[in-house]
Amino acid sequence: MAFKSLKETVKPRTPLSDVLAKADKGSPKADKKTNGFKVKVDEAQSVRRTLARDFMIGVEKNPGSTVTELYRKLDLNTDLGTQVQKELLEAGYVTKKRVGRSFILELTEKGKEAICSDGNKLKGKGLSTHVFCQQRIKGHHESLGYTAHVEKNIDGKSIDVLVNKGGHLIAYEVETSPNDHIVQNVIRDLMVGVNEVVIVSEREQLEKIQRIVEKGVADNDLRKVSYQTIDDYLGE
């Protein structure tokens, strides 16, 4: 059962607790040994498994989505999505991270094993925060009509996101912490022929990153370097 068919199973704004109430609590006078009760339990548990499985697949297939955007893509209202997310967090199938002013979800090893055991194949890799930012930058520029590539390799140099604006090449480097390798990235990007380098990071890290770059990059190249926050690519 795909998420699109959940509207036929769960009415809009119906909390997951209500969907599963009969299975979790039953009727005070219900005989739990009767076939009728067992059918209700099995049906509710099936809905629970379908929600959890499809939600985890959605997390894996949408690395550029915030939690709120993920709910919309999976056709889930906020109440239902939040409750599914809570159950998966408590069970250790996903983790939740703050990126900028939003939150993203990432599958744990336990979550990956669960959906792979169900015959699904994983395509994502790398740190979710890094992948999330790459996808946001790529999607933003593509929406404006530009060509954008993630992990674009030029002369052996892999660029986080390379954007082509009518021949003007811009290298976007996502930096989650201030390290000296940032200088190497900037120098190598300019050496392979990009016209501009944009460093994207958390707001609180940018000042430290800028100081590192200014110390290690030649003055005539610094004018080709600019800085943006992750929040610049969040539409929520």
The pTM score is 0.61
Residues 147, 176 contacting (CB under 8 angstroms): no
Could you read off the pLDDT of 74-115 as tens digits, one per residue? 888 888 889 999 999 999 989 888 887 888 888 888 888 887
Q: What pLDDT, on a 0 to 100 scale, did the predictor assign at position 178?
A: 83
Residues 133, 233 contacting (CB under 8 angstroms): yes
Domains of the chain, start order: 3-123 (1.10.10.10), 132-233 (3.40.1350.10)
DSSP sequence for 147-173:
EEEEEEEETTEEEEEEEEETTEEEEEE
Could you read off the pLDDT of 151-160 as tens digits, one per residue? 888 888 889 9
